[in-house]
Amino acid sequence: MKALVFPGQGSQFVGMGKELYDSRKDIKDLMEYANEILGFDILSLMFNGTDADLKKTEVTQPSIFIHSVAALKAINGLGAEMVAGHSLGEFSALVANGVLSFDDGLKLVSERAKAMQEACDANPSSMAAILGLEDAKVEEICAQISGIVVPANYNCPGQLVISGETSAVEEACVKLKEAGAKRALLLPVNGAFHSPLMQPAQEKLAAAIEKTKFRKATIPVYQNITTTAVINPEEIKQNLIAQLTGPVKWTQSVQNMIKDGASNFVEVGPGKTLQGLIKKIDASVDVASAI
């Protein structure tokens, strides 16, 4: 079975989407429509901006979403039987399985990005990548730290990202190294994504989601929070809202997709990050880029 997977924040690069834009008129029209929806020229930032421009959350997230949906249009779905997205990528996945329209998806992504940036600005917080330690040990040590620090991204076996108050993340990094982690690296982000510190953003996203039409899925989406196949639009809504303060269980989602028959994963969007993670989760499956 074929699965489409969609990347999240961090996969952006200067020039992203330009080849897609130049490849077909219908894709060009779709991408130009994004400028209208957002009310500013995001394509000029994608094609000709700087790394600093693209690292701004309110630019990064819509840019990756636009690129992913344009790439999806280029391959016409490839006859996929299931979809999943890493964090932000879940919105692209919901366009792929018919739950969201392009314009509704982009509006939600833009709202989400702005709300997350506001939450970041309100609290000094950060994230760190922990390499070479079992998930259970990371969970145990985070629970012992005073202050907010939680597992945020279960990316693949031996790679887990933690998130929370800067002082608590730094303390956890010291203790995790002492416990045997090969590396504990603070990430160049200015906020604690997928932690309780995103609660104000979650409330704003929930209000926007409740006003948006969600259709029944044509194929299942394996959501970050539940890790299992979902097609009911009300469930999908609640899982999207919960995702903002809860962990991205990518390892578990991919394992469940494979258990349910996925053997061929196609990454739709910028970069190849998810292909690398999936190979580390299960080396027996095929992985490829959509374009």
Q: Residues with catalytic annotation? A: 87, 194
| Alpha helices, H only, 83-210 | 89-96, 102-122, 135-144, 166-178, 199-210
User: For tokens 């489409």, what's the residue?
Assistant: 4
C-alpha span between 79 and 143 (Å, rounded)? 43
State whether the Cα torsion 169-271-262-23 is positive or negative.
positive
C-alpha span between 94 and 99 (Å, rounded)? 5
Cα radius of gyration rounded to whole Å, the chain = 18
> Measuring CA to CA, which residue among 246, 225, 247, 245 is closest to residue 236?
225
C-alpha span between 34 and 27 (Å, rounded)? 11
C-alpha span between 102 and 83 (Å, rounded)? 16
